[in-house]
Amino acid sequence: MLTFVTRLTLVCAVLSLSQVGFAQEPQTLPLPAHIVVVMEENHSFSDIIGSSQAPYINSLAAEGALFTESFAITHPSEPNYLAIFSGSTQGVTDDSCPHTFSTATLESELLAAKKTFTGYSEGLPQAGSMVCTSGEYARKHVPWTNFSKDSPTDNQPFTSFPTDFSQLPLVSFVIPNLLDDMHDGTIQQGDIWLQTNLSVYASWAMTNNSVLIITWDEDDGSESNQIPTIFVGEQVKPGKYSEKITHYNVLRTIEQAYKLKHLGASASAKPIKDIWKK
């Protein structure tokens, strides 16, 4: 039988270990100078991670935080874009266009806090365009076009993405076109587009307190909507992370970093805290 002293010693040891673990978890999130979110399309986790068709994306997964239990919200595409941007699917169950909602979004919350946002879409015919389709551009993948509180001037073609990354807004979304986001094009095509267009930013983010987030709207129906999600940046600890996250956790993390209000379902989603160096 354990003596009182032995039991007390064991309790103290357990408390000591729990306090160490607690101290290792950041109490606040880092404050990135810039966050760029790239949305890809319609592929499951195992389609991308480990695929020889996606060498660049897999290099980012090795350099950053790879979530092995990341899930989209629903099917098809459009409600997932609405979810990550507004904390709700807004009742949308298809890929219809156009829509107009009056609720708040990540953009309107940033603007209300005197912070900046821009959405960059490949193939958008002109800044502020509200067209549903144009060539390989699809508005259904561009959620900020659907909210009356958001600014049309923040709806920009990808050709406006700055080469001087210090000029980026605080938060950006990048939407490749239907060929380059893997919706109609191949995994390899999407991987090459990402490397061609965002590898310089990814490298810059590693030394300039910035973050690149790459995620998918939904899977291809093969893995219960499990998708790849990758965070890369100077303050990101490389590794594989197994906690279950969704688009709402990603949104909550951005909100938490910049001390914004929590939109819709993001209010009950936990911010991602364990991937940060400090």
Domains of the chain by start residue, with CATH: 29-268 (3.40.720.10)
DSSP string, 12-44: HHHHHHHHHHHHHS-SS----SEEEEEEE-S--
Distances (CA, A) of 260 to 109, 110, 114: 6, 7, 11
Q: What mean pLDDT is predicted for residues 241-251?
A: 98
pTM (predicted TM-score): 0.90
Candidate from 22-26, 180-184, 268-272 with smallest mean pLDDT = 22-26
Q: What is the pLDDT of residue 207?
A: 98
For 154-168, the pLDDT digits (tens) are 999 999 999 999 999
For 70-122, the pLDDT digits (tens) are 999 999 999 999 999 999 999 999 999 999 999 999 999 999 999 999 999 99
Alpha helices (H) in 145-208, listed in sequence order: 187-205
Tell me the C-alpha distance between 209 and 114, whole Å.
Answer: 20
For 205-234, the pLDDT digits (tens) are 999 999 999 999 999 999 999 999 999 999
Tell me the C-alpha distance between 5 and 100, whole Å.
Answer: 67
Answer for the pair 263, 106: CB distance below 8 angstroms, yes or no.
yes
Q: What mean pLDDT is predicted for residues 10-35?
A: 56
Q: What is the pLDDT of residue 18?
A: 37
Q: What is the pLDDT of residue 278?
A: 80
φ, ψ (nearest 5 deg) of residue 226: -80, 130
Tell me the C-alpha distance between 72 and 79, whole Å.
Answer: 10
- 16 vs 54, which has greater pLDDT? 54
> Does the structure show a pLDDT above 50 at 147?
yes
Q: What mean pLDDT is predicted for residues 170-179?
A: 98
> Does the structure show a pLDDT above 70 at 182?
yes
Q: What mean pLDDT is reported for the chain?
A: 92
Q: What is the pLDDT of residue 160?
A: 98
Q: What is the pLDDT of residue 112?
A: 97
**Residue 28: pLDDT band by 50, 70, 90 thresholds?**
confident
